[in-house]
Amino acid sequence: MSTKSKQRSPWFWVPSLYFAQGIPYVIVMTLSVIMYKRLGISNTDIALYTSWLYLPWVIKPLWSPIVDILKTKRFWIIIMQLVIGVGLAGVAFTIPVDRFFQITLAFFWLIAFSSATHDIAADGYYMLELSSGDQAFFVGIRSTFYRFAMLTGQGLLVILAGSIETFTGLQPLEVNVSAQQGSAKEIAFNPEDFQITKEQGETRFVAPEELSVSIAKVKAATADSIVQLVNRWNIDHSFYTAEETLAKTERVSAWKKHVSMPMENLLKRVFNRQTPQLGAEVGNIAIIPIQLANVPEADETLVLNFGFDKGDKSIKLTREYRFEFSPKNWDKPAFAVVQLDSKLNKPTQASFIGRSGIITFAWSMVFVVIAGLFALFFLYHRFILPRPESDVANKEQGSGVLKEFLQTFASFFQKKQIGVAILFMLLYRLAESQLVKLASPFLLDAREIGGLGLTTGDLGLVYGTAGMIALTVGGILGGVVASRNGLKYWIWWMAVAINLPNLSYLFLSLFTPESLWYVAAAVVVEQFGYGFGFTAYMLYMIYISQGKYKTAHYALTTGFMALGMMIPGMVSGWLQEIIGYQNFFIWVMICTIPIFLVIPFLKIDPEFGIRKKEE
């Protein structure tokens, strides 16, 4: 580390660097979906084309050696932030043009590849600039600011887009829906019962300001029939178009015929378990009529995006509505259907809002703001990031780039104990990778099939508040304690922390408590344990990546981490449906055992991760 580096505290750049690392990811993977939905792209196209945008993060180890071989990590960070900013500006300026979907997708691909490259360089720089003690100390800090970036992309930027829509369009349409105790009334859909309010003066949308829905269950067939009638009315009157669906083949694959189905039948016989059947009832529904008070100007189409605003998410719309009102259909009402969570048993309320602003302008401004933010990141890090003496290109004089590229991969698998290290990376999260897929479904599923029957609102409250706080505290605390005693001292305790709290879900499945406090306590324990225990995993990936090609090798370790999460996660839902929640959580606890058999074989420098006093 250079003298200049020693004089600059990591607090000046670690938070901003990892905040900048998280923003492009959440924009590409989450914000793009919301934007395309607002702009009227079909669910089929959104799901198909945006899912592919995850590919650069999956395959980034393939080009990670380039970041190690050519230029410095500092160079790659700064240049990628500039390229990301250019890509964001490209999205901003092409949203209003024809064929915007194809053009903005191209820019999102640019952002995705640039962001994945930025991740490689930032993680490599982190290891070069910081001592092992500082790496341990700041591992929780960097994770926290990465999560802040996720919250910013999913929350603040969406709020900003909505606010701009509000200021650029008609007066927002607000509807408050309250769920009250009472018996369900017979549901019928008669469009003629809704009268059109014709007015002179300012153009605006009208709808009932207050709507009450009885807390009750209705037959699923009845609710589905009403929803279909409403959709058909809206489609026939050009308020929106029919969604395209992807054809599904009924052919049974060889894998399913010869492997998964026989295994499924065997497990059902072993556990003597029949698939439980839910009653054919769902939460009560209600219909919201939305009307345009007077005729729009000739050739003008007014778009109204109607969706959830605030309150209890146990009250939700059956779909996201994007209505188009024109001179041809303005004198007819459009309809939205709201539905209660079938497990809701107490009075509550939620607000829904319709915005009719200039949507293209709103989202263009959002991306202008983000592009400006990355211009600031580029300038800030250009002057603030230290210049470590070890941050140099690894291409040796006279050696070919291709030879160096191949050597980077080969050297990773030539490391001492690499077999044990790979086992550790694949098994450390074996239990958690399965639990994380089924935790929310378990809490939401009805008690008749072994779940806890939480409402969507209760789940959001538990995970969004207590769970998030516990996760953050656990991550930061893990970094602090690891910097005091080192990875070797804490790896056992952290392995226990990330695995033992899985017992809380087993207890919940056994005792099925009705109090939300017990559920919140279990989630807090599990999330704190994950935040605390994941510290050891990150530090071990840093430890095993040490050496000449640490940047590329760290990217490879993240690939093994993804593999260790992906494969068990893929089969977890299939397994749970066969053996039930209680047996599944017992299986999860069994899956905690292998990692404790691997850890004794790890050879870790006792000094790694300890923060020296001079640091």
User: For residue 478, what are the CA distances in angstroms to 99, 536, 539, 593?
Assistant: 48, 8, 10, 22
pLDDT tens by residue, 549-589: 888 888 888 888 888 888 888 888 888 888 888 889 999 99
Contact 177, 349 (CB under 8 A): yes
Rounded CA separation 231/223 (Å): 12
Q: Quick one: which of 73, 80, 5 has its CA closest to 393? A: 73
- pLDDT-derived band at 87 (thresholds 50, 70, 90) equals very high
Q: Quick one: which of 529, 332, 321, 309 has its CA closest to 436? A: 529
Q: What percent of the chain has pLDDT over 70?
A: 91
What pLDDT sits at residue 4? 44
* Percent helix / strand / coil, the chain, rounded to 5: 65, 10, 25
Rounded CA separation 403/405 (Å): 5
**Most confident segment among 59-63, 70-74, 295-299, 489-493:** 489-493
What pLDDT sits at residue 555? 86
pLDDT tens by residue, 420-444: 999 999 999 999 888 888 888 888 7
Q: Quick one: which of 609, 603, 561, 133 has its CA closest to 415? A: 603
Higher pLDDT, 19 or 132: 19
Domain parsing of the chain, residue ranges: 1-169+359-393, 171-241+260-356, 400-615
Q: What is the pTM (predicted TM-score) of this model?
A: 0.78
Would you say the CATH fold of 400-615 matches that of 1-169+359-393?
yes
Q: Judge whether residue 5 has pLDDT over 60.
A: no
Q: Judge whether residue 8 has pLDDT over 80.
A: no
Rounded CA separation 94/89 (Å): 9
What pLDDT sits at residue 477? 92
Average pLDDT of the residues of the chain: 84
Rounded CA separation 276/298 (Å): 57
- pLDDT-derived band at 256 (thresholds 50, 70, 90) equals low
Q: Pick the range with the lowest mean pLDDT from 173-182, 387-396, 476-485.
A: 387-396
Burial of 468 (0-12, 13-18, 19+ CB in 10 A): middle
Domain 1-169+359-393 homologous superfamily, CATH: MFS general substrate transporter like domains (1.20.1250.20)
Radius of gyration of the chain (CA): 27
User: What residues does 35 pair with on adjacent strands?
Assistant: none
Largest CA distance in the chain: 83
What pLDDT sits at residue 394? 64
Q: Class of the 400-615 domain? A: mainly alpha
Higher pLDDT, 460 or 206: 206
What amino acid is encoded at 515 in this protein?
Answer: S
Rounded CA separation 455/178 (Å): 15
What pLDDT sits at residue 200? 60
Torsion angles phi and psi, residue 168, rounded to 5? -105, 0
What amino acid is encoded at 524 in this protein?
Answer: V
Contact 337, 317 (CB under 8 A): yes
Q: Quick one: which of 527, 523, 529 has its CA closest to 508? A: 523
What pLDDT sits at residue 551? 82
